[in-house]
């Protein structure tokens, strides 16, 4: 996914699906829990210092796993980078469960998008094989477009 700093900043200001002040520990060795305002917008998890309007960081919730840890904490880890883990501590078990569900749903949306994209490519290729025509050409979407024809296996 491509994005720039200006787009991220704009996205961080949009209405959040979920927001709260949580304790957070980053992936660096020796990191300590720090209070952060954490805000989930679409599939980005932004985190802010309590007194600042601009985020100090953002996690793109693609190819990640969210799991419950101790009584009030959860962990976000990334499939491609297993050592990159973020820990969060909530004020209650209920709050932790709500966050885990919201983050899991946000992460799942990424997988759904990728599945739909691969399905589109697959069926586009199948129709092209049978009819000899690109089914999306009538909509002004050419081979050079974003959903280029390519061999896929689902």
**pLDDT of 90 above 60:** yes
Return the residue matching tokens 């050409």.
Answer: 137
Q: Which two tokens stand for residue 40?
A: 């989930």
Q: Which two tokens stand for residue 83?
A: 């050592």
Q: Which two tokens stand for residue 77?
A: 């880890």
Distance of CA 100 to the CA centre of its chain: 13
Give the C-alpha separation, 1 to 72, whole Å.
32
Express each pLDDT in 39-75 by its tens digit: 999 889 999 998 898 999 999 888 888 999 989 999 9
Give the C-alpha separation, 128 to 55, whole Å.
46
Give the C-alpha separation, 1 to 151, whole Å.
21
Express each pLDDT in 95-135 by its tens digit: 999 999 999 888 765 555 555 666 777 788 888 889 988 88
pLDDT at 109: 55
**CATH number for the segment(s) 5-114:** 2.30.29.30
Q: Give me Rg for the CA atoms of the chain.
A: 20
Enter the pTM of the model: 0.68
Give the C-alpha separation, 122 to 69, whole Å.
39
Every domain of the chain and the residues it spans: 5-114
**pLDDT of 30 above 50:** yes
pLDDT at 113: 56
């Amino acid at each position: 996914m491509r994005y720039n700093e200006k787009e991220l900043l704009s996205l961080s200001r949009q209405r959040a699906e979920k927001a709260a002040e949580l304790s957070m520990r980053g992936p660096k060795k020796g990191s300590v829990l720090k209070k952060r305002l954490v805000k989930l917008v679409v599939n980005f998890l932004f985190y802010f210092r309590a007194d600042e309007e601009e985020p100090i960081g953002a996690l793109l919730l693609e190819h990640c796993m969210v799991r419950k840890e101790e009584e009030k904490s959860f962990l976000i880890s990334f499939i491609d980078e297993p050592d990159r883990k973020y820990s969060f501590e909530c004020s209650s078990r209920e709050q932790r469960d709500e966050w885990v569900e919201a983050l899991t749903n946000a992460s799942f949306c990424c997988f759904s998008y990728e599945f739909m994209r691969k399905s589109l490519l697959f069926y586009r290729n199948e129709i092209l094989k049978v009819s000899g025509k690109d089914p999306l050409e009538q909509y002004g979407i050419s081979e050079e477009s974003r959903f280029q024809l390519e061999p896929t296996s689902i």
